[in-house]
Structure formats: C-alpha cells, structure tokens
Amino acid sequence: MPSSPTPSPTPSPTPEPSGVRRRSLLGAAAAAPVLASLAGAGSASAAPAASATAGHAGSPRALPGGGDLGPNVIVFDPSTANIQGRLDEIFKQQESAQFGTGRYALLFKPGTYSGLNAQLGFYTSIAGLGLSPDDTTINGDVTVDAGWFDGNATQNFWRSAENLALVPVSGTNRWAVSQAAPFRRMHVRGGLNLAPDGYGWASGGYIADSRIDGTVGPYSQQQWYTRDSSVGGWLNAVWNMVFSGVEGAPAQSFPEPPYTTLETTPVSREKPFLYLDGDEYRVFLPEKRTGARGVSWGNGTPRGTSLPLAQFYVARPDDSAATLNQALEEGLHLLLTPGIYHLDRTVEVNRAGTVVLGLGYATLIPDNGVTALKVADVDGVRLAGFLVDAGPVNSATLVEVGPEGASADHSANPTTVQDVFVRIGGAGPGKATTSLVVNSRHTIVDHTWVWRADHGDGVGWETNRADYGVVVNGDDVLITGLFVEHFNKYDVQWNGERGRTVFFQNEKAYDAPDQAAIQNGSIKGYAAYKVGDDVTEHEGWGLGSYCYYNVNPSIVQHHGFAAPNRSGVRFHGLLVVSLGGNGQYECVINDTGSPTSGTDTVPSKVVQYP
C-alpha cells in the first residue's frame, strides 16, 4: 500500500487488509440485545390530516396524513434539559449493536446548542430541522469513533449526520466511519478527521453537499467519495479518493497520489429532508442540478419545493405492507419512522413524484421471498434513507426501480435512490438472487451500500447466497458513490447504454470454498463490475476492487473489471488489490493491467482504459 503523500500530525498507518479487519473479533461482531426503546417525552408530533381528505384522483382518503413521529424520533430544542444525558443513553444502547433492533433519529430544532458531544452508534441518525445547516449550530461535536472495536473503524456502518453546523471543541470533528454512513448537508466550522482515535483502520466513506472550512484528514481511510461540496484542504490518500464538484479538492493525479477529480458532477439532486416551518413539519425536495459544483445551500435557502407532513403517511413499524400500499394508492407519500417493518407483500410505488423517506435507518424485511419495494416507470420518485434486509426465504429481487423493459424518458425529472442500503445476512439468515435492479432510464443512484454480509449471523457461501448485487438494465443511469461487496457472482452487472459511475468500492466474496465455486465459464472468477457485451457507451471514474479469499487463499481472480473493448466504453482510475495475498488478480480490466502478487497489499492500477 502506498504511504501517505502528505505528512500528518500523527503518522498515518498502513491499513491492514480489510479482510483481516472484518474477520477479526468476529465473536464480538454480533451485538448484545438492545434495551427497550426510549419512549415518551421528546417525540415529535404534528396534527393528522382529516381522514376525509381527498386522496388520489379525488377519492376519499381513509388513512390520515401527518401525525406523531413515534417514540424513536427524539426532538431537541435549545431549552431541552439534559440533552447530553439523552444522547449518551442512546449511544450506550447503540454503540456496539451492529445487528441489533434499535433505530433512532435525533432531530435538533433550529437554534444554538453548546457543550454537546453527540456520539453516534449503529442505526442512529442526527439532523438539524432548519432549511440550511447554519440554522442549527452545535458548539460541540458529532463523533464517530471505534472504541467499541478496539480502535478499528471498519465496521462503523449504518449511521448518518445531516443538516447541521458544527463548531468542534478542538477545532476538528472526528467522523471515523466505513460504509453506509453518509455525511450530508453539513457545515463544519473547522476540520474533519475521518480516522479513529489511534489512527486505526477505516474503510469509508461518503460526503455530499457539505462545507468543511478546515482541512479533511482521511489518514487511514482506504477510499472515500466526496460530491458537490467545499473543503479547505485534503491531507492524504491511501487507495482511492474520488471527488466530483468539490471546491478545494486535490487536483487530478491518479495513480499517485490516487486522486480522481471531476470538476463537476454530471447530474445531482440532493436527498429530501425533514424540516420545521414555524411549528409545522415539512419535507424539502431539492431541485435537480446539472454540472453541479459546491453546496446547494451556498446562498442560504436551498432551491426546490416542499411538502407538508400532512401529505405523508407517517408509518410505524407495525404497519403492514397492505397499509403502506393503501396510503400510496390514496395519494400519500411515505415517511418511515425508525424501526423494523416486516413485509408480506411488495410495497408498490406507482405514482409520479412519490417520496418514500426513512428516518433513523427504518428497515424493510421482505417475508416469504417477496420483493420489498417496486417503482413503476414514472417520473420523479424519490427513495431515501432506509435499509432493506433480506429475509430467510430467497427473494428474486429486493428493490426494483422500474419494471422490466421500462423505456420512458425521465431526463427532466429522474427517479433518485439515495442512502438506500441493502443487506443480505449478518442480522440473521437472508437470501436474494439480485439485490437492486434499475430498469428505469435516467435513474440517479446516489450513495448505496449493497452488502452480502461477511460476518455476523447467517453467513456462509450458501447460507446467505446472493448472486448479484446491482443490475442496471435501464439506459442513461448515473450512480454516484457505489459500494457493493461480497456477492457470489457479479457484484455489479451493467446492461444499459450510456451508464456512468463516479466512484466504486468493492470486495469480492471472502468465503468462496475453492476455485470451482467462482469459475465463470473459461474465466477465473466473476468480475466485480461487468459491462454487458453489447453495450456501446459507458464511463466510470475511480473504481476499485479488492479480494480476500480467506477460506481458500489459492483462489485466482482473473480481473476486477470486464467490459467490451470499444472506444465508447471508457474507464478512468481503476485498481485492484489483493489483501495480504489471500487470493490474487491476474489483471485489472479484461486482460489489461499488472497482476497482484505476493503478500504485500499493493494495488495494481490502470489509469485509462482503453
């Protein structure tokens, strides 16, 4: 692994193989049972709309819109007593509850808060309730560290910070995360440290629509993607640092240091968010930006539209899929309050412009092998902020954006999928042939982690079988911030035309028993990222694949990337890494790129292809 090109105040370590980091201490990976939910004072509410409110196509609405946000949405204002004590209580429950059932959203009304250190554990989201991050200022920190895992941050998943201004006590806020931990719409009036205390291993991560006035220090972070933001500086790089539309980003320099920098993001539309307009809760819907650079809220109020909470069905974990579908059919949007939802049928989003927004990592589990959620081939659907956890009976798919053969033009108003995460196994047995299928044209997938678990409960080559992570059949699809790991066959299979990916992070499945188990016809192993043989146009920037075949280190993976060899299919900044020599790559893409070798964790890189 390359050493840090820029000196840091504390020597930057050489990260160990991420396979070691995730397989270490597996006995401690399954969290202890979570305490009972915190209930009562501090939960948010809004008056429900009258049940007779007109629904879809003018029919009477049987289900109310608006209402109480439930016991696991904790709302603070500057006058709230003992905020720190409440934060500490939730963190104590969630710190090591990696596969627990607790889910929390911590919401701060506009104003100024002082002397706080909000430590975030698993399935905990913190957010301000203003229209701009600067409406809600914390003179203090929002901290993610790794004391629970002996200073190893590579399992700091499933937590988020959004829409706050921070004035860190020491001048630098610590955000030591790995996958599925977005940092959105944040203003850090100081620096940001992405490594844990002690500068142990980390495998993140994602920043969007944020302003960091000081320097970002990734230190031991193996890879990172930053989009449409502003930074005061950036210290170092390990394997793969990607920037698009970031003011102050390092200049393009891949392969050394491994910075892949795009001046703008081709198309982006920020994630919907809950805010307060006086005493009324509303959901803001940011507008689409083309060729975006910098934050969307730079001049104060962001641009877009908003909806009152009365137009949302505020769902609770005990709601059935039938109830969720009824709400959608009646013309309501869905706000999924924190908790675990079991679905005995598919949630079907058929109306253009529908918003499905989760709070506090609301989790959908499909029962009996159903697909958790399907979206029709319509304009402007927004899916955001929830986790889909595969059930024990195999689902053919878990999330489908558009039906098979979808062909409508959605360029003016695309569907967006943001902070929607998928997990197969880990919390218990789970199976799914394909996790996320994108059929609708012009869809934007903005930050996803699609993960076949490599640790936890219900883990094994056939136990949590999942052949494909993400399959893209639609044309003109853009993915910004794509994390897909450990699938039995292709992690990503891209069949649509004119697809684009900005940043990709992958680990091949650790647990393949032998070479025959991964053999793909005459090819050794399935590529992490496969572009269909008939595709004529495709482009990717900053893509990495790692192997750690710890069950059988003799396994050979021919390449990390496979694509048609034609001029319209282009890649910039590719790398493969063998983690500690547990398995090897023969090439990077197709038959191009040097093989990995030995036990040193040194990337093999291809700057441009073809």
Tokens of 158: 């499933």
- Cα–Cα distances (Å) from 94 to 6, 37, 100, 147, 360, in that order, read 35, 11, 8, 13, 12
Q: Is 348 within 8 Å of 371 (Cβ atoms)?
A: no
E-only strand ranges, 202-295: 206-208, 211-217, 223-227, 230-234, 240-244, 259-262, 265-269, 273-277, 280-286, 288-292
Return phi, psi of residue 515, to 5°: -60, -40
Asked about 16 being catalytic, the answer comes back as: no
Cα separation, 384 vs 403, whole angstroms: 19
Catalytic pick from 485, 507, 537, 586?
Answer: 507
Instruction: Report which of 129, 127, 131, 187 is spatially closest to residue 306, judged by C-alpha positions.
Output: 131
Q: Is 395 within 8 Å of 437 (Cβ atoms)?
A: no
Residue 515, helix vs strand vs coil: helix
Residue 152 β-bridge partners: none
DSSP 275-327: EEETTEEEEEEEPEEEEE-S-TTTTSSPSEEEEEGGGEEEE-TT--HHHHHHH
Q: Who's near 299: CB < 8 A, 6+ residues apart?
A: none
Cα separation, 160 vs 137, whole angstroms: 17
Annotated catalytic sites, by residue? 507
